[in-house]
Amino acid sequence: MFSAEITLKRLINIKLFKKQYMLSSTISSNIEESVFKGINKINYTSSLGINEPSLNSPVPIFRILNDTGDISNNCKSIIIPGNNELIKMYKSMVLLSIMDKILYESQRQGRISFYMTNEGEEAAQIGSVAGLHANDLVYAQYREAGVLLFRGYTPEELMNQCFGNVDDLGKGKQMPVHYGSKNHNFVTLSSPLTTQLPQAVGSAYSFKRFENNRCTIVYFGEGAASEGDAHAAFNFASTLDCPIIFFCRNNGYAISTPANEQYRGDGIVSRGPGYGIATIRVDGNDILAVYNAIIKAREYVMNNTRPLILEAMTYRFLNK
């Protein structure tokens, strides 16, 4: 036999052996199906193609309120909070925007050294916290003052923190906006972006071990998702089956860097499948949609002990 013929026969034998081995390690009867560690079910194909991401349509945005602010006719089985809860949500949004203006102007006048505004993102914050349980642990970035206000942290306490006065819980040791309150299950913010993500995963892992019926929610911006810590956190949360909601506020900018210079995929929601994480994309300016999305997300993470990425599409009105 020619050496080329021998090589070909050897190759065929190896292929046959591989197929037999794979079949013996699976109950599947489909010879075209293969088994690779970490991938559930995968087929062979004889057509060579490039998986061009632009051919996939973007994940749609769930919303309840239409352009005129009414509930869309085709919205089925949604939860509308009771009147008292709705009023509390509305009051929190108004309070947040008034407080925001005072603190932003204080910073512009040089009375405090630093501030991060919330204008435009009130619905994402209040809608999400309203759908959580009071003892769910919050890790925040810096545009989540409304989450604290809704939980009962007072405007005075926010002012004390920003001015670093004698009544500040942190005794003036933190920069303004670096709030934190054990009583409100809100972990003190850190300045370095995205450090809160792997820390939040650690907390979620401990909740799973304690079986205490709590979950963790971690807020972050789409810009922060470019940090390596985000990838580490997604992967740990997925492989360790942690009950955590990754809440991304996608406001289109990281300071002055537009989102299209941060990533080229379908926003942050598209990261989910890569890590085997479930996702929801919601209109972050629609408080009822965010509220419903969080309730569904919480149910999912608790019932399955799995993470979930929730991307709220929103706007930052002020540039600070």
Ligand X SMILES: Cc1ncc(C[n+]2csc(CCOP(=O)(O)OP(=O)(O)O)c2C)c(N)n1
Positions in 225-264 near Mg ion (CB under 5 A): 251, 254
Q: Which of 251, 270, 285, 292 binds ligand X (CB under 6 A)?
A: 251
Q: Which of 221, 267, 284, 307 binds Mg ion (CB under 5 A)?
A: 221
Judged by CB, which is closer to ligand X: 223, or 307? Answer: 223
User: Which one, of 279, 265, 260, 271, lies nearest residue 233 by Cα?
Assistant: 271
Site for ligand X contains 315 (CB under 6 A): no
Q: What x/- string results for residues 18 through 47 when contact with ligand X is judged by CB under 6 A?
A: ------------------------------
Site for ligand X contains 60 (CB under 6 A): no
Site for ligand X contains 146 (CB under 6 A): no
Positions in 152-211 near ligand X (CB under 6 A): 191-193
- The one segment of 39-47, 102-110, 250-258, 305-313 that binds ligand X by CB under 6 A: 250-258
Q: Which of 64, 99, 143, 180 binds ligand X (CB under 6 A)?
A: 143
- Judged by CB under 5 A, the number of residues near Mg ion is 5
CB of 188 to Mg ion, least distance (A): 21
Q: How many CA atoms lie within 13 A of 101 on its CB side?
A: 5
Site for ligand X contains 255 (CB under 6 A): yes
- The one segment of 26-34, 192-200, 218-226, 237-245 that binds Mg ion by CB under 5 A: 218-226
Q: Which residues bind ligand X (CB under 6 A)?
A: 143, 191-193, 221-224, 249, 251, 253-255, 316
